Every structure is written in C-alpha cells, then in structure tokens.
A and B are shown apart, each in its own frame.
Chain A
C-alpha cells in the first residue's frame, strides 16, 4: 500500500503560541484506508483533520497529502476541490437551493457544463438513496437525510479522501448507524480513504485503524 498522507513533526498553536493545538504529530495513512481519530474535546483532533484537508496550515513540520505538499503549494483550493470531500457535524447545506443544487456546489470550482454538473449530482443522490428528493429544499428533509445530502456533496468531486468531522454528532443512534453504514459502504465501493473524527469509542472501533490524540500529540495508533 502507498501512503496518501505523510505528516512529520506537525505543530500548530493559536493565540501567540499560548494554545498548542498540535504538538509534533507524525503520521502516515495508506491509500484506501479507514481511519478514526479519537480524543476528548480540545485534544487537537479537529485541528489535525483541518490540516489534512488544508483548511489550515501548520506552524512547523510538513504535510503531504495525495501528492500535494500543503506547506508549499499555492493551489490549496485546487487541492481541496480535487482531492478532499468534507462531511461536517452540521450539514451546512444552503437553505434556498434544492437538494440537487446543494450537491452541485463543489463542482462550480471546476470548469464543467451545467448539464454535466446536474447529472453527476443526481448520480450521487441516487447512491445515497435520495434521488426522489432532488428537487426539494433541504429544510424539508430529516436530519439523517440532510447528512446524506452532505455526504453526496462531499463525494461529487470524486475525492481521494473523505474527511468527516463528527458526522453523526447531531443525529439519533439509529440515524447515526445508517449514516456510518453509508460512509463505510461508499469507502469500500469507491475505494476512498475515509478519516472520521469522533469522541465516540464505538464509532472509532469501526475503523481499520484508530488514532488517539491527547494534548496535540498522538498517544496511540493501532
């Protein structure tokens, strides 16, 4: 297996160095792997996920993801557009757009015809079982359905890696199980690297490998 993520001595602090969010992270993740990052609130797990997704840049160390050196590249938006699919705890869908239009959103970062955009978005909605609700507004969907739309949006760019930050954090247990099953199915079917941030041990155990983060350091990686 080849590594898709290589992180070396990554450090990140906030508020003039007073808050050390990441304190020397070394990590390698293989292509197509399913990894969970677990830790308490404030442990640095979301910061680590943000660094992998190039939503933030470290102060020290190096981060290489899918062939991009994130410390050096000036094409961070290009990297996010082509390589990463984000799923957030809150779905963050745009309320005045229809379900299919929400799924199309990442494709505006690329040159693509409106027809092709819509076709791709509908295929993804079919994959998450919501094709019949493509034309309605997200406000008329249940929490679980909204998260399914967010997953379809994360996948529409055909990313190499899906980064999910507490994707079931605001859902009931039955819906959580459905969403996790969907993410794992997609990871297997599409051979996408899946990284889930969670503070729930049961969810963490579903992954092939678990990373435990405490005070900005990896304390356990199995």
Chain B
C-alpha cells in the first residue's frame, strides 16, 4: 500500500462526515464553475457577433448610450463612416449593420439589419425557407431558437413593434445569440426605428495578408475620437462591465467558498485528529516524524477538497445544462465550459484544503507521543 493510498483510505474512514464536508465545498466549487462558464458564454457569444460573417473586427461608436436600443450600449453613427473606413489602406471591405433590441411578439429580442449582399452571403445558414428578396420591406429571417421560442415558422406573420412582417426563412449558425435574433434589410430597420442613414456597427474585412491589428490601429489613430475598433469583449464598456460583474461575483463566491469551506475542513480535520489521537501516538511511537504526520493529515484534507472539486464540477455542469435545457437561462446565454473554468475550481479546492488542513495537521504533528497515547 502506497502512502497516497493510506491517505485516501483515511480520508473516507468516516463516510458520513466526509460526505457532508465534500457537499459543503462542492456547492461553492459548482458555483465558481457555473459562473465561470456563464462568463465564458458571454465572451464567446459576443466574440462571434463581433466577427459575424467572417469579419476581422468591428467598429462601434465611441459615444455611450446606455438607455438606447443598441444591445452594446453605444450610439449609432452616420453611414458616411462606411466609405471612410473602406478608404483605409489594408481594408478589403466594410459592411454596415444596424442592431436594435425591439419588442417582437411581446418579447424583447435582438433585430439586426444587414445589406442585401451581406444577407445573401449567409444563404448556407438557412435551414428552412428562402432569403429576403432585394428591396423587400416586409420580410424577415428568424433564428432557429427565436422560431422555437416564438412558435413561428416560414410563412407566419411577425410583429416587431407596430410593424408586421412575413417570415421567409429560418437560419441556424450554432451561436445562441445569433440564433435568437431576427434579421431584415438594413434600410427596413433604419426606417422602423426612425434612424435612417445610421449604423450601429461596421464589420471590417482586411486584405489577405494584411496585419489585422495594424489596420485597426490605423483606424483608431485616424478616427479614434469618434469610433472605436472592437476585437474583444473588453473593448465594449457595457459587455466588459457585465463580464467583470460576473467575474467579480465569481471572485466573491470563491473567497466565500475558501472561508466557509476552510472552516468546514478545519472542523472536519480537527474532529479527525481528536478521534485519532491515540493512533497518532502509535505512529509517533513506531518512528513517524512530525513531517510525515503533517503530510498525512494535510494530504487527507487536500484529498477531501479535490474530491469536492470533482463533485462540484459535475454538479456545476449538470445544474447549468439543466437550466439551459428547461429554458430558465433564456436562449441567448449559453454556458461555455473550458479547461480554465475547471482549473479555477480545482485551484480554490486545493487552497481550501491547504488552509483548512494546516492547523489540524500542525496540531497533530506537535502532539507528544505520551500525551497522545494517554488520550481517552
């Protein structure tokens, strides 16, 4: 039997107590994993939107408009910017997009306006119906998830605000954000929200071989007072704030998990040391060093918390996936589990194990053999 196996066997000697300690810490770890996955989901979804249609980066207005209809909390800007961007060296193409959060059949959904060519290039994402006709002013394509949540299909009528549209196609991209949105022609949405000749976003495509960051920097240097280039979520204040808020909550929960879990582990391990005082005396009598006893108790504490991390990660995944499956999370927010999310959970678990196990382990290692052997 290896020393590690001995530690493992000792950890689960009192199964009920170990189980309760594991559950206590596992809930904290599950929350950390869950919030981490949600924050990843927001970043991934945003990233896909910013690179919609294969764009290398996007451009938003520099001006914030937190109360507006733009889901990213920025103001719209003139269509004239499209030509200015196209003139920048290294830019192959630039496409204007209008994004708005609008009441669709009583639900607030993202509605995107694209130019005809842009919509046409997305034919391959259509899973039912056809694309919008050129110059059609009452046609929309809806994402698969929006179609399911609204219970609408091709040929049905769709109310956006006070306007009526015909659903001509259903699209699926695999991105929950995009699949929960409604698409129409740029001019149609501009007219609908009475903001003609304006854009909320420009998708930029650079020349083959051109330096994407270099092109973005040229634009920033030239027009940085009015517009900003977006390559990641941290470039957009509203999204960055949201992600930071989730990360902040995750950090607070991590700290709470460390404190509460640490106290739980201290309690469990102190009980263990008390119960096994005579045994520790015997171990000292047969020649075990203080370091060996300290490693054994600390090892038991870490095994307990690592086991909690495994259980907590499983609970986190199951709970979040269940919430998504039953629709509580809404259609737009899909958790993304990455290795980093789980690593964070395991790091917290090891920290809890070390902090919680240290005092009981020191206490056990400092017991004198006679004192321990006399313990009743």
Q: Which residues of A contact B (CB under 8 A)?
A: 50, 53, 55-56, 77-82, 84, 86, 88, 90, 92, 94-97, 101, 104-106, 108-110, 114, 117-118, 153-154, 157
What bracket does the count of chain B residues touching chain A fall in? 20 to 34
**A77 to B282, Cβ gap below 8 A?**
no
What's the minimum C-beta distance from A154 to chain B, rounded to whole angstroms?
Answer: 8
Instruction: For A80, give the chain B residue with the smallest CB separation.
Output: B287
Secondary structure class of chain A's binding surface, majority of residues: helix
Q: Which residues of B contact A88 (CB under 8 A)?
A: 282, 373
Q: Which residues of B contact A (CB under 8 A)?
A: 1-3, 6, 9-10, 13, 278-279, 281-290, 292, 368-370, 373
Instruction: For B10, give the chain A residue with the smallest CB separation.
Output: A96
Please report the C-alpha to C-alpha distance between residue A121 and residue B231 in the assembled complex, in whole angstroms.
Answer: 65
Q: Which of B10, B281, B369 has the most CB of A within 10 A?
A: B369
Q: Among B10, B278, B285, B287, which residue has its beta carbon within 8 angstroms of that of A78?
A: B287
What's the minimum C-beta distance from A214 to chain B, rounded to whole angstroms?
Answer: 21
**B288 to A55, Cβ gap below 8 A?**
no
Please report the C-alpha to C-alpha distance between residue A108 and residue B13 in the assembled complex, in whole angstroms.
Answer: 19
**A82 to B287, Cβ gap below 8 A?**
yes
Please report the C-alpha to C-alpha distance between residue A131 and residue B47 in the assembled complex, in whole angstroms.
Answer: 66
Question: If A92-B278, A96-B10 touch, does A109 touch B373 (CB 8 Å cutoff)?
Answer: no
**A55 to B292, Cβ gap below 8 A?**
no
| Closest 5 pairs (CB-CB, A-B) | A81-B287, A106-B286, A109-B287, A55-B369, A80-B287
Instruction: For B368, give the chain A residue with the smallest CB separation.
Output: A56
Q: Among A79, A97, A104, A106, which residue has its beta carbon within 8 angstroms of that of B9?
A: A97
What's the minimum C-beta distance from A85 to chain B, rounded to whole angstroms?
Answer: 8
Please report the C-alpha to C-alpha distance between residue A213 and residue B1 in the assembled complex, in whole angstroms.
Answer: 42
Q: Which residues of A contact B6 (CB under 8 A)?
A: 97, 101, 108
Please report the C-alpha to C-alpha distance between residue A108 and residue B288 in the assembled complex, in whole angstroms.
Answer: 7
Instruction: For A85, give the chain B residue with the smallest CB separation.
Output: B286
Instruction: For B283, give the chain A residue with the smallest CB separation.
Output: A105
**A55 to B370, Cβ gap below 8 A?**
yes
Question: If A56-B368, A109-B292 touch, does A77 touch B9 (CB 8 Å cutoff)?
Answer: no
Please report the C-alpha to C-alpha distance between residue A114 and residue B369 in the assembled complex, in whole angstroms.
Answer: 26
Instruction: For B285, give the chain A residue with the smallest CB separation.
Output: A86
Q: Which residues of A contact B373 (CB under 8 A)?
A: 55, 88, 92
Please report the C-alpha to C-alpha distance between residue A126 and residue B369 in the assembled complex, in whole angstroms.
Answer: 29
Please report the C-alpha to C-alpha distance between residue A114 and residue B3 in the assembled complex, in whole angstroms.
Answer: 9
Instruction: For B13, give the chain A residue with the smallest CB separation.
Output: A96
Q: Which residues of B contact A53 (CB under 8 A)?
A: 285
Q: Which residues of A contact B9 (CB under 8 A)?
A: 96-97
Q: What are 5 A-B contacts with C-beta separation under 8 Å?
A: A53-B285, A92-B373, A96-B10, A106-B287, A109-B288
**A157 to B369, Cβ gap below 8 A?**
no
Q: Which residues of A contact B278 (CB under 8 A)?
A: 90, 92
Please report the C-alpha to C-alpha distance between residue A109 and residue B370 in the assembled complex, in whole angstroms.
Answer: 19
Q: Which residues of B contact A108 (CB under 8 A)?
A: 3, 6, 288, 292
